[in-house]
Amino acid sequence: MTKLSVNINKIATLRNSRGGDVPNVVQFAKDVQRFGAEGVTIHPRPDERHIRYQDARDLKPEVYTEYNIEGNPVESFMKLVLEVKPTQVTLVPDAENAITSNAGWDTIKHKGFLIDVIKEFQQNGIRTSIFVDPVLKQVEGAKATGTDRIELYTEGFAHQYDLGYKDAIKPYTESAILANELGLGINAGHDLSLDNIKFFNDNIPNLLEVSIGHALIAESLYLGVENVIQMYLHKLK
């Protein structure tokens, strides 16, 4: 079964909006695991506008499932990950002023840089994944970097699926087939939701993990966190 990792950035955003510690990020991470989530994802940015670097440290002893830290491997991010040593680091080429991630790596152009970064993380026992668009040459380029996994950037699929274009899954399926042939593990994330997750999962062979944050938190406002997590787990079976 595909693992569900819950991205808790939005909980930090809500906390930060009042300047206190409600809701508590660490407690929320403990709760989603208790409710059945098989991983916790955070994406700290240099301006710490949602998840703070200290949150990453505080979460370490409390995340007993998969602990995934996403981000652009700038110097401060690399130091944090090497200190915390999560289960997995997902490298994302987001600009500092980006509202959210909006593109995968050009794995060919940045091959040398990615090789060096990935090697350092792997030497410290951290599994690596890199954010990629569903483009075959970029999947091939990812293999050349030495990464353990790729994370398929799924915003394009989610948008087209909402419009009724189910053929939008085709480049993702093709990319997954190639990744399997190359021996790369496959993760996915961005704008996946209760509406599209089953269709996506059914069409991606050997999908190992999905990271879902914004939609899951929004859905939980109406349906409750525990209930929503169980709904995702059911759709991922």
Task: Please list, in sequence order, all residues whose beta carbon lies within 8 angstroms of the beta carbon of residue 100, skipping any fewer than 6 positions away.
Answer: 94, 190, 214
State residue 94's pLDDT score: 79
159 is catalytic: no
Residue 69 to residue 8: CA distance in whole angstroms: 11
Catalytic residue among 38, 43, 66, 219: 43
Catalytic residue among 38, 50, 66, 70: 70
Query: Read out DSSP for 69-103?
Result: EEE---HHHHHHHHHH--SEEEE----TT-SS---
In terms of Cα–Cα distance, which of 155, 130, 140, 141 is closest to 73? 130
State residue 143's pLDDT score: 98
Residue 212 to residue 36: CA distance in whole angstroms: 14
Contact 60, 84 (CB under 8 A): yes
The torsion angles phi and psi of 118, rounded to 5 degrees, stand at: -60, -40
Residue 181 to residue 15: CA distance in whole angstroms: 43
pTM of the full structure: 0.95
In terms of Cα–Cα distance, which of 108, 74, 123 is closest to 94? 74
Sorted by where each starts, the structural domains of the chain and their CATH numbers stand as 3-236 (3.20.20.70)
User: Which ranges of 163-236 would DSSP assign to H, the alpha helix?
Assistant: 170-182, 197-202, 214-223, 225-236
Chain Cα centroid distance, residue 46 = 17
DSSP class of residue 187 equals: E
43 is catalytic: yes
State residue 206's pLDDT score: 98
Contact 175, 134 (CB under 8 A): yes
Max Cα distance, the chain (Å): 48
Residue 6 to residue 37: CA distance in whole angstroms: 7
Rounded to 5°, the CA angle 132-39-49 comes to 70
Catalytic residue among 38, 66, 190, 209: 190
Residue 150 to residue 142: CA distance in whole angstroms: 7
Rg (CA), the chain: 17
Q: What is the pLDDT along the chain (237 residues), one digit of tens a residue?
A: 899 999 999 999 999 999 999 999 999 999 999 999 999 999 999 899 999 999 999 999 999 999 999 999 999 999 999 999 999 999 999 766 554 556 799 999 999 999 999 999 999 999 999 999 999 999 999 999 999 999 999 999 999 999 999 999 999 999 999 999 999 999 999 999 999 999 999 999 999 999 999 999 999 999 999 999 999 999 999
70 is catalytic: yes
